[in-house]
Amino acid sequence: MTTEVLKAPLVVEFPFTRSLGPVQSAFLTGLREQVVLGVRTTDGRTLVPPVEYDPVTADEIRDLVQVAPTGTVTTWAWNHAPRRGQPLDTPFAWVLVRLDGADTALLHALDAPGPDAVHTGMRVRIRWAAERSGAITDIACFEPDDSAIGGETGDHDGQFESMVTGIVAQARLDYTYSPGRAQTAYINALAERRIVGERCPSCRKVYVPPRGACPTCGVATAEQVEVGPGGTVTTFCIVNIKARNLDIEVPYVYAHIALDGADLALHGRIGGIPYDQVRMGLRVEPVWTEGGRYPDHYRPTGEPDADYETFKESL
């Protein structure tokens, strides 16, 4: 039997809030003020961008140096198809630039008409972003420049008015998620108001939801078994805090439910009964709402409670 596996877009977005140490804080605040700072290592080299620990000796370093906004390309790569989030949306060169006064190179973008206009050793200058907040993107990009090596450099105490002490690093990744064969079969059956597990060929246990493998035996499962719809509450908790975007009155009960014929309890919300009357052994059944692809919750069937002996293995 071949069924089309399910697929759906999955977007993972996260704004990481990051603190800056003294050196990174000085560097990023400096960019906001159009001042580029490096840090001097134990052996007297100047690192731009600066770090707090010497990459060779691991010594803590915080001796700041101002370097020039002009520099020399040490290597480059022509990017004819810019991707989301990159510094320029027209074709550009990625460059490593050794700023005048620095001994190491900074990665950024170079705005140039084409690859023929770029070469290692070419002179470039920072183009500042119109609006700057204390981030690496305060450098909009580099642009070609014909000035000689030099520019104003010197010691700097790294102190500015209202120091930037943190950044928010936005990230977004796009995926097409597929749950694989076993879970596709499970989700499709749910939409038909059936609950399908898979039996292990070795230990004969029925897993629901099935994930295609028996976690006890480490073998593939394939034999589908319809379980439920009735089941037994094996254990439960009372939820007192309202989750964001969830329209369920608190308190409510979330329970482990051993469906008839299954050897593993799944979990679901219990409705149709006051929260303080839910108990171990309560017999329940799934409730699908109109058009729902999966059970909205479980409700009591009205049967007598199950005997502890019948569900203790599923606890």
Partner 1 sequence: MTREIAVVAFAQTDHRRTSDELSEVEMLMPVLHEVLDATGLKTSDIGFTCSGSSDYLAGRAFSFTLALDGVGAWPPISESHVEMDGAWALYEAWTKLLTGDTDTALVYAYGKSSPGSVRDVLTRQLDPYYVAPLWPDSVALAALQAQALIDEGYTDEPALAAVAARSRADAQANSHAQLRGSVPHGEYVVHPLRTGDCPPIGDGAAAVILAAGDRARELCERPAWIRGIDHRIEAHSLGVRELTDSPSTRLAAEKAGAFERPVDTAELHAPFSSQEVVLRKALRLGDDVRVNPSGGALAANPIMAAGLVRIGEAAARIHRGESDRALAHATSGPCLQQNLVAVLEGEPRHAQ
User: Can you tell me the distance from the alpha carbon of 70 to that of 49, in angstroms, rounded to the nearest whole number?
Assistant: 14
Applying CB under 8 A, among 16, 240, 244, 245 the residue interacting with partner 1 is 16
Question: CB under 8 A: which stretch of 74-82, 123-131, 149-157, 284-292 binds partner 1?
Answer: 74-82
User: Can you tell me the distance from the alpha carbon of 99 to that of 49, in angstroms, rounded to the nearest whole number?
Assistant: 10
Closest CA to 106 of 131, 70, 132, 134: 70
- HSE, CB side, 13 Å, CA atoms: give it for residue 161: 1
Select 47 or 259, whichever has its Cβ closest to partner 1: 47
DSSP strand pairing (46-47 vs 283-287): unpaired
Q: Are 134 and 29 in contact (CB under 8 A)?
A: yes
- The reply to whether 171 sits near partner 1 by the rule CB under 8 A is yes
Residue 129: both structure tokens together: 């972003």
- The reply to whether 40 sits near partner 1 by the rule CB under 8 A is no
- The reply to whether 211 sits near partner 1 by the rule CB under 8 A is yes
- The reply to whether 98 sits near partner 1 by the rule CB under 8 A is yes
Q: How far is the CB of 295 from partner 1 (least distance, A)?
A: 22
CA distances from residue 185 to 222, 230, 231 in whole angstroms, order as listed: 10, 20, 21
- The reply to whether 83 sits near partner 1 by the rule CB under 8 A is yes
Residues 6+ apart with CB under 8 A from 142: 71, 95, 97, 108, 109, 110, 111, 124, 125, 126, 127
Applying CB under 8 A, among 33, 34, 77, 292 the residue interacting with partner 1 is 77
Give, as ranges, the residues between 245 and 284 that touch partner 1 (CB under 8 A).
none
Residue 234: both structure tokens together: 């094996």
Length of the chain: 315
Q: How far is the CB of 289 from partner 1 (least distance, A)?
A: 27
- The reply to whether 17 sits near partner 1 by the rule CB under 8 A is no
- The reply to whether 13 sits near partner 1 by the rule CB under 8 A is no
- The reply to whether 122 sits near partner 1 by the rule CB under 8 A is no
Q: How far is the CB of 312 from partner 1 (least distance, A)?
A: 17
- The reply to whether 216 sits near partner 1 by the rule CB under 8 A is yes
C-alpha gyration radius of the chain: 31
- The reply to whether 183 sits near partner 1 by the rule CB under 8 A is yes
- The reply to whether 132 sits near partner 1 by the rule CB under 8 A is no
Select 7 or 267, whichever has its Cβ closest to partner 1: 7
Residues of this chain that bind partner 1 (CB under 8 A): 5, 7, 10, 12, 16, 18, 20, 24, 28, 47-49, 51, 55, 74-80, 83-87, 94, 96, 98, 104-109, 115, 120, 135-137, 167, 169, 171, 173-183, 211-220
